[in-house]
Amino acid sequence: MEKSEAKKRIEELVQKTSYYAQKYYDDDKPEISDFEYDMLMVELRNLEREYPDLINKKSYTQHVGGSVKAGFSKVEHEVPLLSMQDIFSLEEIDEYVNKIKKQAEENYIENQNFVVETKIDGLTASLEYKDGIFVRGSTRGNGFVGEDVTENLKTIKNIPKKLTEKVNIIVRGEVFIGTHDFEKMNQEREENGEEIFANARNAAAGSLRQLDISITKKRPLDIYVYNIQKIEGKEITSHYEALQYLEKLGFNINPVKILCSTVEDVNNAIDEIGKRRDTLTFGIDGAVVKVDDLNFREILGNTAKNPRWQVAYKYPPEQKETKLIDIVCNVGRTGVITPLAILEPVQVAGSTISKTTLHNEDFIREKDIKIGDTVVIQKAGDVIPEIVKVKKSKRTGEEKDFEMPDKCPVCGAKTVREEGEAAVRCTGIECPAKLYKNLVHFVSREAMNIEGLGEILIDQLMSKKLINNIADIYNLTFEDIASLKKSGTKFATNLINSIEKSKQNDLYRLITALGIMHIGTKASKVLAKKFKSIDNLAKARFDELAETDEIGPIMAKSIVDFFSQPQTKDLIEKLKKAGVNTKVKEANGIDKADERFSSQIFVLTGSLENFTREEAANIIEKFGGKVSSSVSKKTTYLLAGEDAGSKLTKARTLGTTILTESEFLEMIK
């Protein structure tokens, strides 16, 4: 390749790998497989070796991938958390081991050993202990500065909060999600209509790097510790000895660690791990070859990116051909319809694959998949089976195109695909597949606000066939509820009272509870105020709705489509029969004719003493005003409580009238 061509290709590869690395390390949403990314990096590295004067400082061959996510505190690593040099052939492994042995001889080190371990497919973490107590944990970040995720790491049960010895130590480990837990989690996400994770590594990374710790707590994170970064007051000379000591301290260490002395031993260990990878309970993306002698490691040192004392052997992904027999559709709990490929069973990476998700309509079009095609299957991240490509050369002409259904395969309701979305959804409110999610939304605080009727209880009621549609909530008896809990008499009484109370809710809550696409609480209040009853709203014309302030054509179409469904009409009649209010009510003593805030726009910021922000917003809207989330030139008032932030600054800049809470109280007397 000419130097000018090499320069152009290096620039392309730097741009591509930087983009894919950001999606992988920072966004936790990879767009290509690990193998495809590795091959791009190999090409880039080879070109840089041939033309070292063309090396770009931005190249990922020159630094560690990853950055610090906004919202986390920065942690400077006392010992850098560098990445590993990847190797893709056993010939390169032989070359590396022999080179290390030669350097050992030159430094008068006899019997140089290696430890071969599994390369766990997860997110690197550093754990710091003072006097044996866990004090801080962080991600790798860029290798030198990471994110402080101490509280998130404390949710992982296999991270000891207290060690068996009072030692000052920093260790390195890999946070991951086990194979079984990952499959179960993805299955639940698919049933709920949520986007499934591409692989276990990114699921683990995304889970650990959550600003909301409650999300991290729900994820089945685990960890294996595999290196001592720094230790005080104890002399350890070998890596294998270090692993044994880590286990003694109470750490969950890498379970696969093979001590080797020769090139043949190293090759055999890599081969052994390759054979066992399908039986492991955690995902791996290679085998790591490490120098055992810790003093020799110091002599070998590091490059700018990689330690010279270890390399990673990457196994090629196993691929198999099979026949795509049919494409069927599953309906998730949110109504998302997911196409599923039915395959002639084939063994891939130790598992029998007979079906795999096709994600959505766009995926099928991009891959040009037809029913009857011969397809190539591989496991993404050694876990999820996926169709890599179609063998178009093997088409016979009898293959059939697939079209997403225009009616729900479960309930027969119309399906829709919103502009800008990849998902096709069922619109039926009584669809059995959507019932759980519809119920959870219907009883939620912002909707009918039925206290005590949470997700667990709904699940129990559904499993006992006590609820088969939304309206069945109002047919529940005291005995039905009491039977679900030990000593459930008081609970049943409270829940029955809460259900009865919800019948008297104002109309906007019912509109919100129906879960009409694009219609939230704010729009529900606008609709309730204008149309006065559910019947009037159901009969409203498209143009009448589209001309309504803050509704517009997209919401209008969604409302018309929703109320034209036979299932919607059936549910409304059932709710009326149960005694649920379907009309606007007088609002808490405020005269509905009082429009004192008409045409006025409020923005709320900071903490209020006498109200929650939601309560203040309700009062403003009941007086005819509007509540916006951001300050603009159109804003009439900024209601500022304690600890008001950037909105207060912007309001002052624009000259917006700023109200204290006491001034607001005077206005609503």
Quote the crossing angle between the two packed helices 3-21 and 34-50, to the nearest 10°: 150
| Nearest-angstrom CA–CA distance, 2 and 548 | 65
CB-based contacts of 579, cutoff 8 Å, min separation 6: 474, 503
Q: Is the pLDDT of residue 380 over 70?
A: no
Q: Is the pLDDT of residue 229 over 90?
A: yes
Element holding 621 (H helix, E strand):
helix 613-622
The HSE-up count of residue 268 (CA atoms within 13 Å, CB side) is 9
Q: Which residue has the tokens 């741009």?
A: 15
Q: Are 325 and 342 in contact (CB under 8 A)?
A: yes
For residue 642, the 8-state DSSP code is B
Chain mean pLDDT for the chain: 88
Q: Is the pLDDT of residue 587 over 60?
A: no
pLDDT of residue 390: 96
- Evaluated on CA atoms 431, 522, 450, 194, the torsion sign reads positive
Q: In the predicted model, what is the mean pLDDT of residues 542-567?
A: 92
At 317 the three-state DSSP class reads coil
Q: Is the pLDDT of residue 275 over 90?
A: no
User: Which residue, 432, 453, 431, 428, is CA-closest to 442?
Assistant: 453
Q: Are 254 and 176 in contact (CB under 8 A)?
A: no
Lowest mean pLDDT, pick from 44-48, 274-278, 346-350, 471-475: 346-350
Clarify whether 539 is annotated catalytic: no
pLDDT of residue 483: 83
pLDDT of residue 613: 83
pLDDT of residue 69: 56
pLDDT of residue 556: 94
Tokens of 263: 């090139």
Q: Is the pLDDT of residue 592 over 60?
A: no
The HSE-up count of residue 387 (CA atoms within 13 Å, CB side) is 31
Please state whether 89 falls in left (phi above 0), alpha (psi between -120 and 50) or beta: beta
Q: Are 590 and 584 in contact (CB under 8 A)?
A: no
Instruction: Write down the H helix ranges in 277-319.
Output: 294-300
User: Which residue, 571, 540, 533, is CA-closest to 558?
Assistant: 540
pLDDT of residue 588: 44
Q: How far is CA 630 from CA 134, 189, 242, 257, 667, in A?
A: 42, 33, 55, 56, 22
Highest mean pLDDT of the ranges 236-245, 271-280, 577-586: 236-245
Q: Is the pLDDT of residue 214 over 80?
A: yes
pLDDT of residue 586: 59
Q: Which residue has the tokens 């049919």?
A: 326
- Comparing 479 with 624, which gets the higher pLDDT? 479
Q: Is the pLDDT of residue 491 over 90?
A: no
- Comparing 195 with 513, which gets the higher pLDDT? 513
| Nearest-angstrom CA–CA distance, 148 and 174 | 15
Segment 334-375, tens digit of pLDDT: 788 999 999 999 878 666 789 998 989 999 999 999 999 999
Highest mean pLDDT of the ranges 3-17, 86-100, 205-219, 639-653: 86-100
Q: Which residue has the tokens 């309001």?
A: 651
| Nearest-angstrom CA–CA distance, 47 and 574 | 70
Q: Could you give the percent of the chain with pLDDT greater than 90?
A: 56
| Nearest-angstrom CA–CA distance, 339 and 360 | 6
Lowest mean pLDDT, pick from 116-120, 312-316, 562-566: 312-316
pLDDT of residue 589: 42
- Comparing 251 with 27, which gets the higher pLDDT? 251
Element holding 97 (H helix, E strand):
helix 90-106
Q: Is the pLDDT of residue 127 over 90?
A: yes
The HSE-up count of residue 73 (CA atoms within 13 Å, CB side) is 11
- Under the banding of pLDDT at 50, 70 and 90, the label for residue 591 is very low
Tokens of 135: 């004090």
**Domains by residue range for the chain, with CATH:** 3-54 (1.10.287.610), 83-313 (3.30.470.30), 319-394 (2.40.50.140), 427-578 (1.10.150.20), 601-667 (3.40.50.10190)
Beta-bridge mates of residue 424: 337
pLDDT of residue 658: 93
Secondary structure (DSSP) of 154-177: TT-TTS-SB-SS---EEEEEEEEE
pLDDT of residue 377: 92
Of 102, 119, 157, 290, which residue is the catalytic one?
A: 119
Q: Which residue has the tokens 């989330």?
A: 629
| Nearest-angstrom CA–CA distance, 461 and 455 | 10
| Nearest-angstrom CA–CA distance, 185 and 187 | 5
Tell me the pTM.
0.55
Segment 388-441, tens digit of pLDDT: 899 999 999 999 999 999 999 999 999 999 887 888 999 999 999 989 989 999
- Under the banding of pLDDT at 50, 70 and 90, the label for residue 621 is confident
